[in-house]
Amino acid sequence: MAMKNAPPAGTIRYWAAARAAAGTSEEPYAAATLAEALDAARRRHTTRPEFARVLLRCAFLVDGTPVGTRDHTTIQLAEGGTVEVLPPFAGG
């Protein structure tokens, strides 16, 4: 029986309000898509209800590329990649 390949593993980095809501500045992911990585992060932080609310307002960079309005299920993650979670910033 063939073994299923493990999903890519990398790092999610949280900034500002996202870091406060997560209670950490970064954590690992093991997911094929951005949607899967964020779903797993939400499950990890169910004791921190503000986390899911903050994610709804965040922008995301995957390996330095802005995700924008693209469907998170279509954003492929790479082995050793980085997802940056950026809440809206005040000022300008």
Q: How many CB atoms lie within 10 A of CB 43?
A: 9
- Whether 83 and 34 have beta carbons less than 8 Å apart is answered as yes
pLDDT (tens digit, 0 to 9) for every residue of the chain, 92 residues total?
445 688 999 999 999 999 999 999 999 999 999 999 999 999 999 999 999 999 999 999 999 999 999 999 999 999 999 999 999 876 55
Report pLDDT for 51: 97
Q: Enter the pTM of the model.
A: 0.90
Write the DSSP string, 7-61.
PPEEEEEE-THHHHHHTSSEEEEE-SBHHHHHHHHHHHTTT-HHHHHHHHH-EEE
CA separation for the pair 2, 57 (Å, rounded): 41
HSE-CB of 63 using CA atoms within 13 angstroms: 11
